[in-house]
Every structure is written in structure tokens, then in C-alpha cells.
């Protein structure tokens, strides 16, 4: 179907333009695999740097200060309920969402719908386990 002309002579589409598009401010969000990997690796490196710094300060500092204890508590990879475990829980949750999406998108052509769904549920359980400890 072709778009029809309105009374003003302007071409109309089936989806009305948003107010931002009418003002020439059309913003589109694009995701690339390389960009996502770069973001995740950057977050992991920041967390690793904080972990190494907090471990080094906890080992080399002769005074036991609250600042160093808090830093070690919130960035130590060996502990639970801190920033690294929260990051891990988010990654597992998004993996569960992607597996559920795969299950829904390939359901008609793939004979593995139950297996994709099982994997999604397992990753959701792992995410909850990591987040709620």
C-alpha cells in the first residue's frame, strides 16, 4: 500500500511522526556487538581495579580505617552483596532474557523450544541466586 496524500499536499505515512521527528530531532538507538562488549569489559576492568586497590590497601595499611573496610566490602570479588556480584546478577538476568527471546523467535522453526525455555529458567534462577544471597 502506498501512503496517500493529505489535504495539505504533504505525504502521510501509516505511523505518525513523533514531535521530535517533526522538529528534525530524530534520535535512533543502535546497539552493536562490539559496543556492548566494550561497555561490559570497561565495567569489569573498573571493578577489577577497585578490587585490586581495596585488596592492596587492606593488606598494606597499618591502620584499620572505616574507609578501607568499606572499600574492601563493596569491591571484593570474594564477597557477596556488593558491586561485582550485582554486575554478575545483571549479566545472568540479561542472559535469561536473551534465551527467552531466542525461545520465542525460533519456536516455529526450531524443535528445541523447551530446551531454550529451560536454559532461560536456569539463568533466571542463577541470577536470583546471585542477587539475593
108-113: average pLDDT: 79
d(CA 92, CA 122): 10
Q: Answer with the residue of higher pLDDT: 87 or 32.
A: 87
Q: Is 126 exposed, middle or buried (0-12, 13-18, 19+ CB in 10 A)?
A: middle
For residue 2, what pLDDT is reported? Answer: 44
Looking at every residue in the chain, the average pLDDT score rounds to: 82
Task: Convert the pLDDT of each residue in 57-98 to its tens digit.
Answer: 888 877 778 888 888 899 999 888 999 999 999 999 999 999
For residue 1, what pLDDT is reported? Answer: 45
101-125: average pLDDT: 88
pTM (whole model) above 0.85 = no
For residue 14, what pLDDT is reported? Answer: 47
d(CA 76, CA 58): 11
Give the DSSP H/E element, type plus range, for residue 131: helix 113-131
d(CA 133, CA 130): 6
Residue for cell digits 581495596? 54
Are 84 and 51 in contact by the 8 Å Cβ rule? The answer is yes
Place 37 in a pLDDT band, splitting at 50, 70 and 90. very high
Are 78 and 54 in contact by the 8 Å Cβ rule? The answer is no
Are 116 and 96 in contact by the 8 Å Cβ rule? The answer is no
Amino acid at each position: 500500500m502506498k501512503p496517500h496524500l493529505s489535504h495539505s499536499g504533504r505525504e502521510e505515512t501509516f505511523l505518525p511522526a513523533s514531535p521530535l521527528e517533526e522538529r528534525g530531532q530524530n534520535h535512533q538507538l543502535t546497539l552493536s556487538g562490539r559496543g556492548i562488549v566494550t561497555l561490559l569489559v570497561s565495567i569489569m576492568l573498573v571493578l577489577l581495579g577497585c578490587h585490586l586497590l581495596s585488596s592492596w590497601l587492606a593488606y598494606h595499611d597499618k591502620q584499620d580505617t572505616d574507609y578501607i573496610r568499606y572499600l574492601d566490602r563493596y569491591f571484593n570479588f570474594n564477597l557477596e552483596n556488593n558491586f561485582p556480584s550485582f554486575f554478575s546478577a545483571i549479566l545472568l538476568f540479561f542472559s535469561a532474557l536473551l534465551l527467552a527471546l531466542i525461545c520465542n523467535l525460533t519456536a516455529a522453526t526450531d524443535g528445541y523450544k523447551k530446551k531454550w525455555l529451560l536454559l532461560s529458567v536456569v539463568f533466571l534462577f542463577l541470577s536470583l541466586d546471585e542477587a539475593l544471597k
